[in-house]
């Protein structure tokens, strides 16, 4: 019996378990919904079904060995996690990453951002009953994974980059692959748009569903697309530009109401913006010679100086931060991860009160809760 | 052959025919959805995977008849049976061709030409609710129960626009018998249009087809089994042949509704501007009329599949809103306009 | 927490459902026809986006990180010197190496002075990060292209030296050997050459 159940005054409700193994649950989350008819009175949320003790694991692994563990946080965009962690350690060590490595990182991160948004839009469609756009988009996601595979040999858990740079240069056929992918992506996004955006059934299901105001979103600690959907123009790539993002020209789309439709639209637009960034980054990349350094000079065994650091990047889901405390040894003293999902999922109960069961699913999809990142 | 033998042959024929269509439909659904979604679908068993439904059928038949511990034993079995019975019996009054002459004996291609065909279809069709709600209740599962309740409300609500649309057709053709309506649709009206229901009742057809999708529990109205919300809705707990009855029943219902649509709106077995009976012998005419009728049905069956893989699903309140606030007023309007037009033309 | 009220605004076309639904039907029909035509072609790989797995496999990247192998050099000698770097760097701790000293008369079998008396990789623990491959001083351990790793029993997933070498021989025979790792250029290694461009861009990065 959770706190929400006590709050509900009425005795006239039915408890429905949505999760941990439910077809619409993204990973193993559990929402115990108290419903009256179709209306959700409240939900008790249970997390921790995918808790693997990532932060504690970090204390027993070297800085280098922790990179593959970060793959398993938000597995839809593993590269963004890798990069966030590596940048945090580099900040702690005061290492300056070569330009070429930064460009490769940007290209790969943006690709993984597209892949993550594809997952969201596709699954949102599936959860609302539109199965077909999912396939059109996921075929393109497969192409993105192909690029990852030809880059360093893994598709999902990439273990991308190393502390101080990246492990290899872009493959020679990257340019042709990217142009092919770009064409396919544009087509798939366009088709999804045609199938969903102006369809009245879709609009009815998404517009005005689980809206949240900007103040509420800020006070809950929303970041990323979910916050931008409320009309707050906050994007770490623009506001606190890290890496080379200040050199690129891209827009930060914002919504108005913070409802499911806005969250969906923001992702659709962001995919296109990411494509723009990749184009620009690749143009810069092409100007560099083949022997430009890919790694900064870092010792074989990484021993950052004593101290602590927090570094956050704009991951596909929002602000993904790594707080690392070092005691001067080759293993971190403490690693704390600030996943965007965790803050967003807190508000879920508030968002869903008074809405219907179907909206519960739609809302959960649109928030893009990734259990791996939420539970760590 | 006496009347009884003919009747039994017809019953057996239409029963196996609808079952065949239902099994083939499972293949069409899987293959069609796959091709729409850039996949291939089942293509291993037999040519083009055509034996896949057979394999599925064997699997469903040979599976253990498992019932959950807390399920109501009788109701749990009764649900799918009720559903299948209504699905198979609804076709009784719908024609599947004109008539065939064998040994100078004229056989009407329809199991029973009752003069209240419409009412029979509506009455039997609404029995489907029992299948859903009994199965949903008997499963003793909250998802199933919600699915069953959703099905009840949805099917009852959409029966009204369905009935209103059909009523307007009755008024137009002045008969409750589906065979008479079919026969009336030969020839042309206004000089150039085929004398089909769709041209006389365009609005009615729109109301009818939307209501038919809702009656058949198909996307965008598949709320009783909405897999992302209610796991599998009323058949969450079912497996084996009990599930098979639900699945086959659903496709048989699709076929019935398609046949009904063809009968009252798309000129049954008539081809526009062509009078087949004048070119063909009595036996050939019977077969051709059957084929024409079936091809028209096949189009609507395909439409069911096609729409399912294109659009998203309604929410429950929106579904009800559409039914009561849009379709029923439209149906009533259609009824009044039809009545008015009949009044001034007669 | 008050929820903002959102007004739905529809154009006429959106309001009456059918226009958009028909557009959508047109789009799916295009896909259907395209794939239908493609599916009539002979061969397993018909629809361009669909791979019929056992008969029809996608091309695996040469740098793919799959099942491990222990390489031999051109003379057929084992490259591994059992230094244990791979075991130490492995985040999943799935590699066990036992060192053995090369006896006299066995020099044509082993390239170094030491050889792995046993070399076991627990594939159930392995996360295929590729760190072992990267850290190996003799590039002896390599992650190959094998990805069909399902077994009936857990103990079959602990692969021994024999299988690792067999993997290498199979890859050698089929010509799917991984190209040698390119050396990653490190900043500051060739100072004079990279300073010019590196400096300019580096300062930009600092600003950023």
Boundaries of every domain in chain B: 3-345
Contact A137/A121 with Cβ under 8 angstroms?
yes
B17 touches chain A (CB under 8 A): no
Instruction: Count contacts between A and C (CB, < 8 Å).
Output: 165
Q: Considering only CA atoms, which of A321, A322, A326 is closest in space to residue A302?
A: A326
Q: Considering only residues 25 to 54 of chain A, which have any Cβ-Cβ distance to chain C shorter than 8 Å?
A: none
In the predicted structure, residue C199 carries a pLDDT above the cut 60: no
Neighbours of B224 (CB within 10 A): 26
pLDDT for A8 equals: 66
> Torsion over CA of A234, A235, A237 and A242, rounded to 10 degrees?
70
pLDDT tens-digit map of A234-258: 888 888 888 888 888 888 888 888 8
Q: Is the peptide bond before B220 cis (omega within 30 degrees of 0)?
A: yes
pLDDT tens-digit map of A32-61: 888 887 888 888 888 888 888 888 888 888
**Residue C206: partners with Cβ closer than 8 Å, 6 or more residues away:** A96
A286 touches chain C (CB under 8 A): no
- Cβ contact C4–A167 (<8 Å): no
What ipTM was assigned to the predicted interfaces of this complex?
Answer: 0.84
Q: At what angle do helices B3-36 and B73-89 cross, to 10 degrees?
A: 100
pLDDT for A4 equals: 63
pLDDT for B1 equals: 62
Q: Do strands A30-36 and A39-46 pair parallel, antiparallel, or not at all (unpaired)? A: antiparallel
Q: At what angle do helices A99-127 and A78-93 cross, to 10 degrees?
A: 140
Sort out which chain B residues have CB atoms less than 8 A from A361's CB and list them.
Answer: 228-229
Q: Considering only CA atoms, which of A184, B43, B45, B306 is closest in space to residue C41?
A: B43
In the predicted structure, residue C24 carries a pLDDT above the cut 50: yes
* Integer CA distances (angstroms), B97 to A229, B121, B269, B288, in order: 57, 18, 6, 8
Confidence class for position A3, pLDDT limits 50, 70, 90: low
pLDDT tens-digit map of C71-123: 888 877 888 888 888 888 888 888 888 888 877 777 777 777 888 888 888 88
In the predicted structure, residue A121 carries a pLDDT above the cut 70: yes
pLDDT for C104 equals: 78
Which residues, in sequence order, are bridge partners of residue A372?
A: none
**Residue B265: partners with Cβ closer than 8 Å, 6 or more residues away:** B169, B196, B197, B198, B201, B204, B205, B208
> Torsion over CA of B184, B190, B193 and B194, rounded to 10 degrees?
10
In the predicted structure, residue C131 carries a pLDDT above the cut 60: yes
CA of C203 vs chain B CAs: smallest distance (Å): 48
pLDDT tens-digit map of B48-93: 888 888 888 888 888 888 888 888 888 888 888 888 888 888 888 8
Strands of chain A (E only): list them. Answer: 14-18, 30-36, 39-46, 307-315, 318-326, 332-338
A60 touches chain C (CB under 8 A): no
Widest CA span of chain B, in angstroms? 66
- Cβ contact A199–B311 (<8 Å): yes
- Cβ contact B318–A205 (<8 Å): yes
Helices (H), ranges, chain B: 3-36, 52-62, 73-89, 117-126, 128-138, 142-173, 178-184, 197-200, 202-215, 240-265, 276-279, 282-308, 316-321, 328-345
- Cβ contact B38–C47 (<8 Å): yes
Q: Could you state, in chain order, the average pLDDT of each consecutive group of 10 residues for chain B (346 residues)?
A: 80 86 88 87 82 87 84 86 85 79 73 79 84 86 86 88 87 82 78 78 87 84 78 82 85 88 84 75 80 88 88 86 88 89 82
CA of B35 vs chain C CAs: smallest distance (Å): 5
pLDDT for A129 equals: 84
pLDDT for C195 equals: 42
CA of C181 vs chain A CAs: smallest distance (Å): 9
* Integer CA distances (angstroms), C155 to B237, C144, C158, in order: 37, 21, 6
pLDDT for C202 equals: 41
pTM comes to: 0.86
pLDDT for C174 equals: 82
Contact B324/A210 with Cβ under 8 angstroms?
no
pLDDT for A6 equals: 62
Structure tokens of B252?
A: 């048989």
In the predicted structure, residue C193 carries a pLDDT above the cut 60: no
Question: What residue in A sits closest to B149 (Cα-Cα)?
Answer: A37
Confidence class for position C200, pLDDT limits 50, 70, 90: very low
Q: State the residue for tokens 């105001």.
A: A213
Q: State the residue for tokens 């809405």.
A: A355
Confidence class for position C204, pLDDT limits 50, 70, 90: very low
Question: What residue in A sits closest to B322 (Cα-Cα)?
Answer: A201
pLDDT for C206 equals: 41
Contact A294/A58 with Cβ under 8 angstroms?
no
Contact B134/B297 with Cβ under 8 angstroms?
no
> Rounded CA gap, B293 and C26, in Å?
25
Confidence class for position C205, pLDDT limits 50, 70, 90: very low
Q: Which of B35, B309, B311 lies closest to C21 in CB terms? A: B311
Q: State the residue for tokens 């009818």.
A: B208
**What does pLDDT average to over chain A?**
86
Percent of chain A with pLDDT over 90: 2
**Residue A99: partners with Cβ closer than 8 Å, 6 or more residues away:** A244, A284, A288, A292, C197, C198, C201, C202, C204, C205
pLDDT for C1 equals: 57
Strand ordering across the sheet containing A14-18: A14-18, A30-36, A39-46
pLDDT tens-digit map of A6-24: 666 667 788 888 878 877 7
> Rounded CA gap, A246 and A240, in Å?
9
> Rounded CA gap, A310 and B102, in Å?
89
Note the Cα A330 to chain centre separation in Å.
29
May I ask the CATH class of domain C68-174?
Answer: alpha beta
Write out C173-189 in H/E/C secondary structure: HHCCCCCCCCCCCECCC
> Rounded CA gap, A137 and A133, in Å?
6
Note the Cα C170 to chain centre separation in Å.
18
> Torsion over CA of C23, C27, C30 and C36, rounded to 10 degrees?
-120
Q: Name the phi and psi angles at B11, rounded to 5.
A: -60, -45
> Rounded CA gap, A231 and C27, in Å?
33
């Amino acid at each position: 019996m959770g706190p929400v159940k006590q709050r509900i005054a009425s005795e006239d409700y039915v408890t429905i378990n949505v999760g941990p193994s439910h077809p619409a649950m993204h990973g193993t989350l559990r929402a115990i919904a108290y419903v009256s008819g179709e209306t959700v009175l409240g939900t008790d949320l249970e997390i921790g079904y995918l808790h693997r003790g990532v932060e504690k694991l970090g204390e027993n692994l070297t800085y280098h060995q922790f990179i593959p563990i970060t793959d398993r946080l938000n597995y839809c965009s593993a590269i963004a996690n890798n990069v966030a962690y590596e940048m945090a350690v580099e900040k702690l060590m005061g290492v300056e990453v070569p330009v070429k490595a930064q460009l490769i990182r940007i290209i790969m991160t943006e690709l993984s951002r597209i892949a993550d948004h594809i997952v969201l839009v596709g699954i949102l469609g599936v959860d609302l009953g539109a199965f077909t756009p999912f396939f059109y988009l996921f075929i393109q996601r497969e192409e993105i994974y192909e690029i990852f595979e030809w880059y360093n040999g893994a598709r999902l858990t990439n273990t991308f980059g190393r502390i101080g740079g990246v492990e290899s240069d872009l493959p020679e056929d990257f340019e042709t692959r990217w142009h092919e992918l770009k064409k396919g992506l544009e087509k798939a996004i366009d088709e999804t748009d045609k199938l969903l955006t102006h369809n009245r059934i879709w609009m009815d299901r998404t517009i005005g569903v689980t809206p949240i105001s900007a103040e509420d979103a800020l006070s809950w600690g929303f970041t990323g697309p979910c916050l931008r959907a409320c009309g707050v123009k906050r994007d770490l790539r623009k506001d606190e530009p890290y890496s080379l993002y200040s050199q690129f020209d891209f827009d930060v789309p914002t919504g108005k109401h913070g409802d499911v439709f806005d969250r969906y639209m923001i992702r659709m637009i962001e995919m296109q913006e990411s494509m723009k960034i990749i184009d620009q980054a690749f143009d810069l990349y092409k100007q560099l010679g083949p022997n430009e350094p890919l790694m900064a000079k870092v010792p074989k065994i990484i021993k950052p100086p004593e101290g602590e650091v927090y570094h956050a990047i704009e991951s596909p889901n929002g602000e993904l931060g790594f707080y690392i405390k070092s005691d001067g040894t080759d293993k971190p003293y403490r690693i704390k991860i600030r996943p965007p999902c965790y803050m967003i999922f807190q508000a879920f109960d508030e968002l869903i009160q008074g809405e219907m069961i179907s909206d519960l699913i739609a809302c959960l999809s649109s928030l893009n809760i990734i259990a791996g990142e939420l539970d760590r | 052959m006496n009347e009884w033998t003919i009747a039994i042959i017809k019953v057996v024929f239409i029963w196996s025919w609808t079952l065949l269509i239902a099994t083939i439909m499972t293949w069409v659904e899987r293959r069609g959805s796959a091709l729409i979604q850039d996949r291939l679908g089942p293509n291993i068993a037999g040519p083009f995977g055509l034996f896949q439904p057979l394999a599925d059928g064997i699997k469903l038949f040979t599976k253990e008849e498992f019932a959950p511990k807390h399920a109501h034993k009788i109701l749990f079995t009764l649900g799918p049976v009720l559903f299948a019975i209504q699905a198979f019996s609804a076709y009784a009054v719908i024609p599947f061709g004109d008539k065939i002459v064998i040994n100078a004996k004229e056989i009407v291609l329809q199991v029973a030409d009752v003069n209240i065909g419409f009412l029979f279809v509506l009455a039997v069709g609404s029995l489907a609710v029992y299948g859903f709600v009994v199965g949903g209740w008997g499963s003793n599962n909250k998802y199933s129960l919600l699915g069953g309740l959703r099905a009840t409300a949805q099917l009852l609500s959409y029966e009204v626009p369905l009935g209103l649309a059909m009523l307007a057709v009755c008024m137009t053709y002045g008969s409750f018998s589906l065979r008479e309506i079919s026969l009336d649709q030969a020839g042309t009206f206004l000089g150039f249009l085929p004398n089909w229901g769709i041209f006389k009742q365009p609005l009615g057809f729109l109301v009818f087809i939307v209501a038919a999708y809702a009656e058949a529990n198909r996307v965008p109205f598949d709320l009783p089994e909405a897999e992302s919300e209610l796991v599998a809705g009323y058949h969450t707990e079912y497996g084996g042949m009990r599930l098979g009855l639900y699945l086959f029943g659903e496709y048989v219902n699709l076929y019935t509704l398609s046949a009904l649509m063809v009968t009252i709106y798309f000129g049954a077995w008539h081809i526009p501007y062509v009078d087949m009976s004048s070119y063909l012998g009595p036996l050939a005419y019977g077969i051709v009329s059957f084929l024409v009728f079936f091809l028209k049905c096949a189009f609507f069956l395909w439409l069911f599949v096609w729409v399912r893989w294109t659009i998203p699903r309604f929410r429950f309140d929106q579904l009800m809103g559409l039914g009561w606030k849009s379709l029923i007023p439209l149906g009533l309007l259609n009824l009044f306009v039809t009545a008015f037009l009949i009044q001034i033309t007669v | 927490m008050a929820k903002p009220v959102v007004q739905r605004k529809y154009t006429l076309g959106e309001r009456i459902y059918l226009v958009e639904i028909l557009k959508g039907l047109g789009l799916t029909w295009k896909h259907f026809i395209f794939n239908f035509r493609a599916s009539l072609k002979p061969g397993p790989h018909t629809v361009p986006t669909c791979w019929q797995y056992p008969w029809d496999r996608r091309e695996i990247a040469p740098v793919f990180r799959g099942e491990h192998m222990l390489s031999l050099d051109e003379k057929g000698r084992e490259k591994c010197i059992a230094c244990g770097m791979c075991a130490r760097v492995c985040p999943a701790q799935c590699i066990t190496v036992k060192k053995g000293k090369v006896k006299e008369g066995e020099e044509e079998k082993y390239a170094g002075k030491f050889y792995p008396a046993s070399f076991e990789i627990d594939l159930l623990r392995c996360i295929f990060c590729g760190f072992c491959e990267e850290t190996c001083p003799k590039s002896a351990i390599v992650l190959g292209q094998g990805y069909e790793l399902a077994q009936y029993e857990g103990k079959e997933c602990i692969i021994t030296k024999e299988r690792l070498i067999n993997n290498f021989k199979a890859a050698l025979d089929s010509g799917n050997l991984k190209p040698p790792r390119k050396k990653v250029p490190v900043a500051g290694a060739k100072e004079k050459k990279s300073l010019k461009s590196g400096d300019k861009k580096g300062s930009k990065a600092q600003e950023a």
